[in-house]
Every structure is written in C-alpha cells, then in structure tokens.
Amino acid sequence: MEYKKMYERWLSFDEEIKGELTGLDEKEIEDRFYRELEFGTGGLRGVIGAGTNRMNAYTVRKATQGLASYILKQGIKSPSVAIAFDSRRSSDVFAREAALVLNANGIKTYTYETLKPTPMLSYAVRSLRATAGIVITASHNPKEYNGYKVYWSDGGQVTEEHAEGILEEIKSIDYKDIKTMKFDDAVFKELNKYVPSHIEDDYIQLVCDLAINTEVIDEMSEELNIIFTPIHGTGNLPVRLVLKELGFKNVSVVHEQEMPDMNFSTVKYPNPEEPEVFEIGIRMAKENGADLIIGTDPDCDRVGVVVKNNEGNYVVLTGNQVGVLLTNYMLSQLKRTYKLPEGSVVVKTIVTTELARRICEDYKVEIIDVLTGFKYIGEKIKEFEGTSKNFIIGFEESFGYLAGTFVRDKDAVIASALICEMAAFYKSRGMSLYDGIIEIYEKYGYCAEGLSSITLKGIEGNQRINEIMEGLRSNTTDAIAGYKVVKISDYFRKIETNISTGEKSVIELPKSNVIQLFLEDGGIVTARPSGTEPKIKFYIAAVGRDLWDAEDRLKKISDEVLEMIK
C-alpha cells in the first residue's frame, strides 16, 4: 500500500513527527497518508498534524517550493512575495517556513510583523507590486484546521491557470529537494523583510475614504450603539481603528473574545455564520441596548451582523440579507449624491440571493453572476480595468462583501465600516437594519434562503459525495416539495436544460461541480461539494407571499432535499 510506504518514510523526518505518528491505528494512518493535502485554486486547507494529508511544516514547505518554482519559471525580474498570518495554531511558524523556502530560492519576501487580516495581504501585494502573496489561515474553520492561501500580483486569489501550474510543480517535488535557509542568513542577504508600516496606514485611509454619507455618521456618531467582536482573530485592531477614524464614538468590544486565541475558547466554531458565536455579545447588547453587533472571523474577511427584530429579539441576519441591504444602501446613496457612475456593476455568486437582481434592475445597474468563491469576484474587478464598467459591490451568501477596488478579496474591515454607516443611516430614519430588510422585501418581494450541509469524511466520504453529485446529475426528480423542476443547470457539463421544452444552452462560466434545480415558484436548489471541508452543501432559496410563507416553503424544500439524499 502506497500510504504505508509514505508513513514509514515520514517516521524518519524528525523526532517530533515520529512521536506523533507512532502508535496510530491503521485507519488514522490511512487518513493521514492516502493522499497529498489537496492544493486547489485557494491553496491548502486541512487539519493540523503530521502526514501528507495534514497541515504541517513539511506540507507548507512543499507547497511553497512549488510556488517558488512556478514563479521562477515565469521569468519575472526581482520576484517577491508578501506574507500574512492569522491567530491560529502554528500560523506564525508556517509563515516563517514559507518565507525561508522562498528566500532559499532567491525570492524576496515581505511578511507582516504581527497577525493581520487577509484583505490587508491582498492590499499589500498590490501596493508592494509583489509577484504573489500567501496568507496562513483556515478562515472560519474549526480550531483543528489551518490553511495556506495563495494570491497573485493583482491581489486576487490565484486563478485556475496559476493554480494548475503551481500544482504541477508541487507534484514534481520530492521532500528531499525542498530548499530552505536560516532566518538570520535570509535577513543578512536582504531577502527576508517586514511589510513597511505605511502599507497598513494607507489601507486604513482607503477604507475610510469609501464612506458615502459622512453627514449621517456625524449626526448619529454618539447615538448609534455598536458592539464588536473579532472572535479571537485579526479584526480587533483594524476594525476598531477604522470605526474610530470615521467618527463612531459608541463602540464596545466583547472583551472575552477580544484577544487572539488559537483555541477560540469561547466558541465551538469561530464562524460568524453560527449564531452561537454571538451569545456573549447578545448578553452585552441586552444590558446596554445596542443597535447592532458585528463579528468578524479569524482572518477578518467575513462579518456577521446581529440586530433586533420586530419582537425585540436579537437575531443574526443572513449573508444574503446583509448583501442586499448593502447593495440597496450603496446604490441609493450614490444615486442621491449623483455619484453613481455610468457602467456601474454589482457582482454576486450563483448561490447568492436573486433579490439583488431585482434591486439592480430598479436602479438600472448591471448585475453579474460568477461561480461560488470570492476569487471570481476579484477576477471580475481585474477584468473591468480599462473598460467602461465600474465595480460597486460584490458579495456572497457566506458573509463575504467587498466595495472599492484596492482589495481583491472579501474584506470584513471594509464591510464593517459600511454596515455601521448604513446602520447610522437607518437609525437617522428611526429604523433598525431589520426594519431595513423588511422595507426591501415589501418593495422587491419576500424570499428566504438557507444552507444545509452533510459532512462525509475520509476516502469513503469523498466517494459518497461524488456519488450524490452524480445521482443528482443523472436522476433529477421532477418536483421538490410539490413544486415542479422547470430548469436544470449543470455547471460541470456546462449545460442548462429547459425541462418543458428540452432546449439546451451553454453555460458561459468555468467548469465547476455544481448542480442547480430551478422550481416553478421561483425557488432554487443548488448542490456543490465544499472546497475546504469534507462536506456536500445544499443552498436553498424560496419565495413567498410574505416572510412567513417564504420561510415555510424554505423548510419544506430543505426537508425534502435532505430526505432525497438520505
């Protein structure tokens, strides 16, 4: 068995590795070594530990050697790489290991001296005119995980072309061929440097410059009561600094979650999509009557929002709700101030709410769909350069938002600032953000969206996920929860089929393992394997006469989809 041979080889790497691997049962050995940790378009992500299918210094070095080899083959003069890391276990260690491999290959590195948000790395790559960038983070995954995200010179995550090239280099590398060097030698040769401090200052200023309605911030600066939690991650200092610079005076931090903590000790998962992460913040809000709570994930590229509903209970808004609120707010305020440019464009992913389309149609603004993954939104910003198109906002249902073009990935610092500005605007009208989303529903139609996931680990789980996708692809049901399926979009085969006419058309997006079923009432069911976890995800969208009707339909469709899969 190949995995046993690799296991035996790893026992000789070093004493720490040997100690961790000795005594494991056969199933655990197989899981750690049955494959190399997959390098996808976003890089690596996996459980921390020894083995080829784990995040550790050796897999980080191998991925970095592949990146170094790929960069050198591009023939770029004086290549350089910017590096950032978050608060997770071994993030700082992996960042240094990556830098030293690059340095040993003659590539200069600029590493942030302390932990920083992912979007600040995207900005640093562009500002330093670096060839590429690396962020050591597993984003919102559980504490057992870490990851390695790769960016290219435009500040966006690497495209398929670059990712495939890097992967080919990684596959050709044996562990014994990986280059590295001592830190002191790298510094002496001026190959290993810190990111200049002005980069962060410039970024903070650019975020502040995105404010649209500074008058309403001044008006409500003391009245708007904000609670912020960085959930033990990188957002603590930059988010609070931006809010202070903008003039918000009534901002409290959740002290129990303020400091970096690799164990994320107050939460099960450090994910703002999980309502549980806001329990402490909500207790604070009930005591001081806060208008909203905002919470950023460990690498501060996602942000969650909590507000009071009409019953007076604090509730977490969905990513779709925050996205349409921001879209409507930005378009309305830019139009009000005559700053909405010709050729304005909003970009969303295919699994993100269609309500945004109705808002854009009302403002006569183009909206573009891209595949799931914020890198596709970043690609569109690059594509718009030198054209008549002007990027306004991009968002995805998984709590990722971006305005401006100086960052090319989702940015929770930018989003937090705009969300607070938007909350100030609604408060000036005697409304909460919850009132704001109801106002949008009443104008553009009621809808509800949800996400269901099934976790399937290991070799068997991966096979089962593939079987489920193939089953959906070849044996699609005629109806779900009593609603006929009227159209099917298969993004792997790149074919869209009208069920009633049998007419087929080509999907003009890159190939992706995604299936979408469109229902006669306007509902949508989307299935796709997760790109970062051993899960298959089902995105459900429903429309209704009112919010309760939409949520009732959502539950019925979701229940039937999960029953079908079982």
Catalytic residue set = 139
Token digits of residue 298: 């460990």
How far does CA 526 lie from the centroid of its chain?
A: 18
Sheet holding 366-370, edge to edge: 366-370, 344-349, 390-396, 400-403
Spatial separation of the C-alpha atoms in residues 103 and 192, rounded to whole Å:
7
Distance separating alpha carbons of residues 527 and 350, to the nearest angstrom: 11
For 37-96, where are the E strands, in sequence order?
Answer: 44-47, 80-85
Q: Tell me which amino acid residue 469 is.
A: M
- Token couple for 362: 């009302």
Rg of the Cα trace of the chain? 24
Q: How far apart are CA 516 and CA 238, in angstroms?
A: 38
Count Cβ neighbours within 10 Å for each residue of 60-76 and write b for 16 or more, e otherwise. bbbbbbbbbbbbeeeee
Query: Nearest CA to 46 among 160, 137, 170?
Result: 137
Q: What is the number of other CB atoms lying within 10 angstroms of the CB of residue 520?
A: 14
Are 7 and 32 in contact, with CB atoms under 8 Å apart? yes
Q: Let me know if 265 is exposed, middle or buried by CB neighbors in 10 A (0-12, 13-18, 19+).
A: exposed
Q: What's the DSSP call for residue 369?
A: E
**CA neighbor of 346 nearest in space, from 383, 391, 376:** 391
Residues in the chain: 566
User: CA-based angle 27:30:36, to the nearest 5?
Assistant: 150
**What is the spatial distance between Cα 485 and Cα 481, in angstroms, rounded to a whole number?**
10
Q: CA 293, 298, 303, 304 torsion: positive or negative? A: negative
CA atoms within 13 A on the CB side of 387: 12
| Adjacency order of strands within the sheet including 132-136 | 44-47, 145-152, 132-136, 80-85, 108-111, 192-194
| Pairing of β 251-253 and β 145-152 | unpaired
The token pair at 507 is: 């999907």
